[in-house]
Amino acid sequence: MKRKYFGTDGVRGRVGQFPITPEFALKLGMAAGQVLSTHQGGRVIIGKDTRLSGYMLEAALESGFSAAGISSVMLGPMPTPAVAYLTRAFRADLGVVISASHNPYFDNGIKFFSAAGTKLPDELELEIEKLIDSGELKMATSAEFGRAFRQNDAPGRYVEFCKSTLGTQLSLQGLNIVLDCANGATYHVAPLVFKELGANVIAIGDKPNGVNINDEVGSTHPDALTARVLSEKADLGIAFDGDGDRVMMVDSRGRLLDGDAILYIIACDRRERHKLDGGVVGTLMSNLGLETALRQRGIDFERSAVGDRYVMERLLERGWKLGGENSGHIICLDYVTTGDGIVSALQALKACLRQDKDLAELTADLHMFPQELINVRTKSGFDATADEAVQAAVREVEQILGDKGRVLLRKSGTEPVVRVMVEGEERGFVHNQAQHIANVIIERSEE
């Protein structure tokens, strides 16, 4: 059954436009609280990123939970993975994150974590949606209203957890690291983690003002990080996105390492130490170079649909521990239950320390295939994946590429956009063929 309000990553949209309004957030809190009290218990923790709209949505959600008889623990600005971790650590029944991740400040979203720190099952999201639309939201009696508490030591707890994932025998002493916190939820915790582990930290994107989150900084805008690494002659740079579940890294030469490269470093190190516990899960967007390099190392690789929830599903199905996306969303299931930018960066640095090599040396054997990604806006209702002319163009390119490339068409789940991705050995060819398919889609959509 298709969900009405929840997407692959919670409820998300433009602030002030349905459903990201205080009225809907209030109903969402009441409905989630009512479902929660039916299934398991009555305590939630609520975290948010640094968007100005977070105050409004936080207050509305807390009010809704209280009206349903559910008590709330308010964490303030905290990374998404921190909320997942603290939901488990506090033995809460539900975790709530108010964030639109890597989107601009004028967007926001609300997503839920189960008591186990994982994404809420589809069945519960559907139950919440059904209750919202039923008009049967019930308010608790005055004596049963939930309370609200402020957890002031939440950042310190998460900092200590992150540090523990490096191991007590390793130190970052002597490393000069540039951290780009995207003016987001990691601004007050990431610098502490790396400083307390011994690194000399140069922080940028660490001064949020409510509207500058992801604004020309962070993992989606790595140029600022690259420039600072080179100007400071730093050993490396690390960039997070607005809610801290994604990470990109830059080596000392200013070369960007995306999620695929970071995943490769972690996987190879764990393979060497017999700690991999199976293979690696990527997505349909993972670079063919990653798959090739891992298989050359004797590491199994499988692809899931795009989205961290699908990576998680495949990991659980296979009983594996490591997976991720080229966007920098990496899941290390032996430590966390969702993507965690800080923990993922520390796992890559752990490989550097154990092998006494830098990021460039650890990725010397990884040769990425050129990729061209084009977002094509189409008329509403046009399905490029079902159009015969478009499919003929795709088959033509695939025949030329053979086993040395890929073509992927993917429909956006939120707007009339088709994402065209072509991957191959020669950059010019890849660019031209992606544009050719995009042009066919545009022509067919306009007919």
Q: How far apart are CA 394 and CA 383, in angstroms?
A: 14
87 shares its domain with 176: no
Average pLDDT, the chain: 95
Listed residues 362, 389, 404: the one ending a domain: 362
Residue 40 has pLDDT above 70, yes or no: no
Q: How deeply is 22 buried, as exposed, middle or buried, from its count of CB atoms within 10 A (0-12, 13-18, 19+)?
A: middle
- The residues, any chain, with a CB within 8 Å of residue 298's CB and separated by 6 or more, are 271
Q: Same structural domain for residues 295 and 437?
A: no
pLDDT at 339 (0 to 100): 96
183 neighbors 212 (Cβ within 8 angstroms): yes
Same domain, 48 and 97: yes
Give yes or no: residues 252 and 316 share one domain: yes
pTM confidence score: 0.93
In this structure, the answer to whether residues 15 and 129 fall within a common structural domain is: yes
State which of 136, 152, 168 marks the end of a domain: 152
The answer to whether residue 116 sits within a structural domain is yes
Same structural domain, 147 and 161: no
Q: What is the pLDDT of residues 350-400, one digit of tens each?
A: 999 999 999 999 999 999 999 999 999 998 889 999 999 999 999 999 999
| Mean pLDDT on 435-440 | 96
pLDDT-derived band at 41 (thresholds 50, 70, 90) equals low
pLDDT at res. 414: 64
- Position 105: which residue type? Y
pLDDT digits (tens, 9 = 90+) for 411-437: 876 678 999 999 999 999 999 999 999
Looking at the fold, whether 165 and 205 belong to one and the same domain comes out as yes
Q: Tell me whether residue 2 is in a domain.
A: no
Residues 270 and 403 in one domain: no
309: confidence class by pLDDT, cuts 50, 70, 90: confident
Provide the percentage of residues in the chain whose pLDDT is more than 90.
Answer: 91
Q: What pLDDT does residue 398 have?
A: 95
Residue 413: predicted pLDDT:
67
**Whole-number pLDDT of residue 235:** 98
**Pairwise CA distance, residues 101 & 244, whole Å:** 8
Which of 362, 386, 418 marks a domain boundary?
Answer: 362
With a cut of 90, say whether residue 53 has pLDDT above it: yes
**Residue in 266, 367, 360, 269 with CA at minimum distance from that of residue 322:** 266
Concatenate the DSSP letters of all residues of 163-176 into one string: HHTT-TT---TT-E
The CATH code of the domain that includes 44 is 3.40.120.10
Mean pLDDT across the stretch 64-84?
97
Q: What are the C-alpha distances in Å from 70 to residues 38, 63, 365, 410? A: 11, 9, 53, 40
Does 115 reside within a domain?
yes
Band the pLDDT of 45: cuts 50, 70, 90: very high
Q: Does 6 fall in a domain? A: no
Q: Is the pLDDT of residue 49 over 80?
A: yes
Range of the domain at 435: 371-446
Please check whether residues 195 and 100 belong to one and the same domain.
no
**Rounded to an integer, what distance in angstroms lies between the CA atom of residue 336 and that of residue 380?**
39
Rounded mean pLDDT of 210-232? 97
Q: Is 101 a catalytic residue?
A: yes
Are 215 and 274 in a shared domain? yes
Q: Is 41 inside any structural domain?
A: yes
- State whether 60 and 121 are in the same domain: yes
Asked whether residue 439 is assigned to any structural domain, the reply reads: yes
- The predicted-structure confidence for 3-33, as pLDDT tens digits, reads as follows 899 987 899 999 999 999 999 999 999 999 9
**Which pLDDT belongs to residue 109?**
97
Residue 121 has pLDDT above 90, yes or no: no
Which pLDDT score, from 0 to 100, does residue 9 have?
85
Q: Is residue 258 part of a domain?
A: yes
Same-domain check for residues 298 and 380 = no
Q: What is the DSSP letter of 237?
A: E
Determine which one of 101, 114, 219, 304 is catalytic: 101
Number of domains making up the chain: 3
Sign of CA dihedral 203, 207, 210, 214: negative
89 CB burial (10 A radius; 0-12, 13-18, 19+): middle
Provide the pLDDT for residue 1: 58
Asked whether residue 326 carries a pLDDT value surpassing 90, the answer given is yes
pLDDT tens, residue by residue, 223-264 = 999 999 999 999 999 999 999 999 999 999 999 999 999 999
Kindly state whether residue 241 falls inside one of the protein's structural domains: yes
- Please state, for a pLDDT cut of 70, what percent of the chain lies above it: 99
